[in-house]
Amino acid sequence: MAGQGVERREILRILAIAAGAATFPGFHKWAFACGHIGNGPTQIKPAAYHPVFFTAPEFALLDCLTEIILPTDDTPGAREAGVAEFIDLMVSRDSELQHNFRTGLNWLDSRSKQRYNRSFLTASPVQQTALLEPLAYKNKHRPAGQLGREFFETLREYTVMGYYTTEIGLKELDFPGLQFYTESPACPHKDDPEHRHLPPPKW
Amino acid sequence: MVRGMPKQIYDVIVIGTGAGGGMVIKTLCEAGLKVCALNSGRRLDPAKDFRDHRMPWEVQYRGFLDPALRNKSVTGFAGESEYVRGAWESEITYTTAPGTKWMWPRCSAVGGKTNFWGRSSAIFGDIDFRAASLDGHDVDWPVTYDEMAPYYRRVEKMVGVASTIQNRPSNPDGVYLPPFNFRCFDRILQVGAEKVGVPYLPDRISQLTKEHEGHPACHYCGNCTSGCEVGAFFSTPFFLLPSAEATGNLELRTNAIAKNILVDDRGQATGVAYVDRNTKNELEVFGRIVVVAASCIESTRILLNSKSRHWPTGIANSSGQLGRNLCDHLYGIAASGYLPQLLGQPSFPDNVSDSSIAWMPRWQNLHHPHEEKFVRGYSVYPDGGCWEFPSYHDEIEGFGTSFKREIKRRYPTPVSMMTQIPTLPSARNYVDIDPVAKDSYGIPKPRIHFQWGQNELRMWSHAKKQCADVLRASGGVVDFVAEEPETPGYSQHEIGTCRMGNDAKKSVTNRFGQTHDVSNLYVADASVFVNVTDKPPAFSILTFSLRASEYLIEQFRTRTHSTSANSQS
């Protein structure tokens, strides 16, 4: 059996994590945002979310970081998809994640204060980018310390997990699955087995 | 047992309701035998327990599992997900010898792993049955393809298999429903594979591309391994158990964890002792014949734990072979990467069967058994395209709009190739009983001894090179090759520990699965297989089990089962 759902198992393997405990009240902001998909950019401010694990300042920083990683551009970003809430849920269930996120957020904020004399949240977009780039690009920059890189990697991974499992995220990908077909979908490029003559990329 | 109450004696007790047990139950009940089946877990209600049609945001942890529970879970296997509940065991009921790593997910629900299996269904051929004669390693199976072919045809008809006639020397063809269509990446990889000299063909898949024997056609939603609500692929609860229950000859006891086989003063089987999962009470059930089909290691555990004056090392173990010859499939990502041709193209429903659409069937050692630096051969499962989750994200650097756009551009492009490499039987690989550890029902745990051997590791190296070559020849970019294969046990294709053979001194059962030592005790799962081949076991379990059942019926009717002399042929 089993042997075959490679990508799906890949996802699950990502998460080797230890136990924590808390109950989660639900995806408050996300549920809100969801109701407005397709109605254009919503102007309504979501009701306040009360984080389960993070402190309010930590949560604000987390929310800001997720939006920097997957920003609102032509399509909605991480904030509208409620990614920070998803991360709060996952982290609330696991003590190792709690340690990693808390340490990482504090580290980043301290670094911002050290370099720019202001918190990450109040730093300018240029400063924020300058703080994150050494963590994100391994080859372009000299090592910025293991802790920072590992934190950013985890943060980005959970941001991706949280974003692409919402209706917003799957719409962004134009996810074609979980639909019903009458026959198994076939490659439409009959005369082009090597797919050398496809129309120009859409993106 | 209350004194004075006449004890009920069934014709046959069957332990397990998966591919092996399910087929036995159906065949015996339809032949008019009274069957009591024991299943270690509960019945699933597909409408309630299968949540395969939910979107990720409709389950609390989006399909990633509650992090708090994950730590306690055995495997992180997909079946144990938020899309199906209460089917997989969370207790780890085995130990491993020092130096052994082994992952053993156990599905305790009625129907076992057939509820969630990969559905890939290539059958064994003479190149497998006669492998020892060809290459000099180990022993041949006690059966030939010609002998098995009629049973394979009958199971194909019962189950419904989608594929094509392929004329491959290692892969006997059967009778098929229309194949699944190839997707863009299949066709690209097929061209690349041809250049490298590797076959890339439709897999044999037990999934209905059209209505079959009263079962509905697949609707291609793509979450098959979370269980199919409508039963559009083979599982025993949808395909075998209903007809058994319709006969009125079946009593199915759920949450009944088999502990050991009961014997009389001649050492013949009289029934089964089991523990009720809920009350933890030990109970007994009696039958004229006992069939063990609890899955390879579980069946072995039951037999090894059945010690008595007659059977001091476990029932039916006069050969000392019980628990020996443990084989597994080495799974690993031989290559993964992406196809730049498809960058930025529109998304396409590639994931309509949870994989298994294509495979690269064994292409090594076909003309001569020693063409390669290893003996026998392996096969590979390719997969890719638009899956629900962009797991390739960690191959892309950066953040921000460029990162988001790159995830979108790459969405149709990822491909990966997973090996299915057989291990050779080895004296180092076996199952015994842990002298100390017991599970929460007081049952001594099996202990697993297992290491990959040289032959399979040579295949693994070979596969990594060949798969990367295929991907590059397809115009693709290789961005990941696993250093190490998956943990042993990952494939859930363990076999061999109650090996069948004609020589009672060297095998546990005869060529029908009847134990050499105890004529009214049968084994009907993958534990009777002589080696693991490069094919998945479930379809062959069904086939061998059908054959074993008919032999059993014949024995039952002529009552030869009541003597301890072993009758073969």
| Packing angle, helices A95-116 and A56-69, rounded to 10 | 80
Q: Do A68 and B400 touch (CB under 8 A)?
A: yes
The confidence band for A16, taking pLDDT boundaries of 50, 70 and 90, is very low
Tokens coding B153: 């045809």
With 90 as the cut, is the pLDDT of residue A7 above it?
A: no
pLDDT at residue A27, as a whole number? 34
- Measure the CA–CA gap between B189 and B350, rounded to whole angstroms: 14
Q: Which residues contact B5 (CB under 8 A, 6 or more apart)?
A: none
Closest CA to B290 of B552, B497, B509: B552
pLDDT at residue B5, as a whole number? 63
ipTM of this model? 0.88
- Measure the CA–CA gap between B528 and B551, rounded to whole angstroms: 15
The confidence band for A26, taking pLDDT boundaries of 50, 70 and 90, is very low
Closest CA to B490 of A17, A18, A15, A4: A4
Task: Return the residue of B nearest to A201 by Cα.
Answer: B344
Give the burial string for B85-120 (b: 16+ CB within 10 Å, else e): eebbbeebbbbbbeebebbbbbbbbbbbbbbbbbbb
pLDDT at residue B80, as a whole number? 60
Q: Do A68 and B354 touch (CB under 8 A)?
A: no
What count of other Cβ atoms lies within 10 Å of the Cβ of residue A140? 10
CA distance A62 to chain B (A): 15
- Measure the CA–CA gap between B515 and B509, rounded to whole angstroms: 4
More confident residue, B175 or A179: B175
Q: Which residues contact B532 (CB under 8 A, 6 or more apart)?
A: B327, B328, B329, B422, B423, B493, B495, B496
pLDDT by residue (tens digit) across A38-87?
Answer: 333 333 445 689 999 999 999 999 999 999 999 999 999 999 999 999 99
CA distance B91 to chain A (A): 16
- Measure the CA–CA gap between A157 and B396, rounded to whole angstroms: 11
Q: Which long-range contacts (CB under 8 A, 24 or more apart) does A61-65 make?
A: A61/A105, A61/A108, A61/A109, A61/A119, A61/A120, A61/A121, A62/A87, A62/A88, A62/A101, A62/A105, A62/A155, A64/A120, A64/A121, A65/A108, A65/A120, A65/A155, A65/A159
Residues of B (439-498) whose Cβ lies below 8 Å from A: 475, 490-493
- Measure the CA–CA gap between A110 and A106, rounded to whole angstroms: 6
Rg of chain A over CA atoms, in angstroms?
20
- Measure the CA–CA gap between B405 and A69, rounded to whole angstroms: 11
Closest CA to B75 of B114, B99, B105: B105
- Measure the CA–CA gap between B205 and B159, rounded to whole angstroms: 10
CA distance A172 to chain B (A): 7
pLDDT at residue B1, as a whole number? 46
Helix (H, G, I), strand (E, B) or coil at B251: strand
Amino acid making up residue B469: D
Half-sphere exposure of B38 (CA within 13 A, CB side): 32
Q: Do A178 and B394 touch (CB under 8 A)?
A: no
Amino acid making up residue B156: E
Strands (E), B317-455: 329-330, 333-338, 358-359, 379-384, 414-422, 430-438, 444-449
What count of other Cβ atoms lies within 10 Å of the Cβ of residue B280? 11
CA distance B546 to chain A (A): 20
Residue where the block lists tokens 């069946």: B299
Of A15, A187, A201, the CB nearest to B409: A201
Strands (E), B450-512: 477-480
Selected residue of B51, B65, B69, B71 to mutate for chain A interface (largest A Cβ count, 10 A) = B71
Of A137, A167, A189, the CB nearest to B57: A167
- Measure the CA–CA gap between A157 and A171, rounded to whole angstroms: 19
Give the burial string for B171-195 (b: 16+ CB within 10 Å, else e): bbebebbebbbbbbbbbbbbbbbee
Say how many residues make up chain B: 569
- The share of chain A scoring above pLDDT 70, in percent, equals 74
pLDDT at residue A6, as a whole number? 32
Question: Is any Cβ of chain A less than 8 angstroms from the Cβ of B70?
Answer: yes
What count of other Cβ atoms lies within 10 Å of the Cβ of residue A118? 13
pLDDT by residue (tens digit) across B226-258?
Answer: 899 999 999 999 999 999 999 999 999 999 999
Torsion from C-alpha of B123, B569, B19, B419, nearest 10 degrees: -30
- Measure the CA–CA gap between B493 and B495, rounded to whole angstroms: 6
- Measure the CA–CA gap between B474 and B185, rounded to whole angstroms: 9
Residue where the block lists tokens 């990941």: B480
DSSP B287: E
pLDDT at residue A144, as a whole number? 56
Helix H or strand E segment including B247: none
pLDDT along chain B (569 residues), means of 10: 71 98 98 98 91 87 83 54 80 92 91 95 97 97 98 98 97 97 97 98 97 96 89 97 98 98 97 98 98 98 98 98 98 96 96 87 97 98 93 94 97 96 97 97 97 98 98 96 92 96 98 98 98 97 98 89 43
Question: Is any Cβ of chain A less than 8 angstroms from the Cβ of B400?
Answer: yes
pLDDT at residue B471, as a whole number? 98
Closest CA to B190 of A5, A184, A188, A192: A192
Instruction: Name the pairing type of β-strands B250-253 and B35-38.
Output: parallel
DSSP structure string for B436-457: EEE-TTSPEEEEEE----HHHH
CA distance A101 to chain B (A): 15
Of B68, B219, B401, the CB nearest to A181: B219
The CA-based angle B457-A10-B464, given to 5 degrees, is: 30
Q: Which residues contact A78 (CB under 8 A, 6 or more apart)?
A: A66, A67, A69, A70, A71, A84, A159, A162, A163
DSSP B224: G
What count of other Cβ atoms lies within 10 Å of the Cβ of residue B400? 18
DSSP B276: E
pLDDT at residue B481, as a whole number? 87
pLDDT by residue (tens digit) across B309-329?
Answer: 999 999 999 999 999 999 999
Of A86, A93, A180, the CB nearest to B220: A180
The CA distances from residue B114 to B219, B284, B515, in Å, are 19, 27, 25
Selected residue of B350, B399, B495 to mutate for chain A interface (largest A Cβ count, 10 A) = B399
Cβ pairs bridging A and B (under 8 Å): 276
- Measure the CA–CA gap between B265 and A32, rounded to whole angstroms: 71
Give the burial string for B6-42 (b: 16+ CB within 10 Å, else e): eeeebbbbbbbbbbbbbbbbbbbbebebbbbbbbbbb
The CA distances from residue A50 to A29, A78, A166, B121, B175, in Å, are 10, 18, 20, 51, 60
Residues of chain A neighbouring B420 (CB-CB closer than 8 A): 3
H-state helical runs in B204-295: 236-239, 241-246
pLDDT at residue A36, as a whole number? 29
Question: Is any Cβ of chain A less than 8 angstroms from the Cβ of B195?
Answer: no
CA B270 to chain CA mean position, Å: 29
